[in-house]
Amino acid sequence: MTKLSVNINKIATIRNARGGNIPDVLQVAVDCERFGAQGITVHPRPDERHIRYQDVLDLRPLITTEFNIEGYPTDRFISLVKSVKPHQVTLVPDPPEALTSNAGWNAIKHQDFLREVIAEFKQEGIRVSVFMDTDCKNIEAAAKTGTDRVELYTEPYAAGYLVNKEKAIAPFVKAAQCVRDIGLGLNAGHDLSLVNLQYLSDNIPWIDEVSIGHALISDALYYGLKETIKKYKDQLK
DSSP single-letter state for residue 63: -
67 phi and psi angles, rounded to 5 deg: -110, 125
Label residue 237 by pLDDT band (50, 70, 90).
confident
User: Contact, 111 vs 141, CB < 8 A?
Assistant: yes
Q: Domain containing 204: what range?
A: 3-235
3-class DSSP string for 176-210: HHHHHHHCCEEEEECCCCCCCHHHHHHHCCCCCEE
Q: The domain spanning residue 143 has which CATH number?
A: 3.20.20.70
- What is the tens place of the pLDDT at every residue in 9-34? 999 999 999 999 999 999 999 999 99
Report yes or no on whether pTM surpasses 0.85. Answer: yes
Summarised one tens digit per residue, pLDDT across range 150-192 is: 999 999 999 999 999 999 999 999 999 999 999 999 999 999 9
The catalytic residue positions are: 43, 70, 190
Q: How many domains, in total, are found in the chain?
A: 1
How many Å apart are CA 171 and CA 157, to the nearest integer?
Answer: 9
Contact 44, 83 (CB under 8 A): no
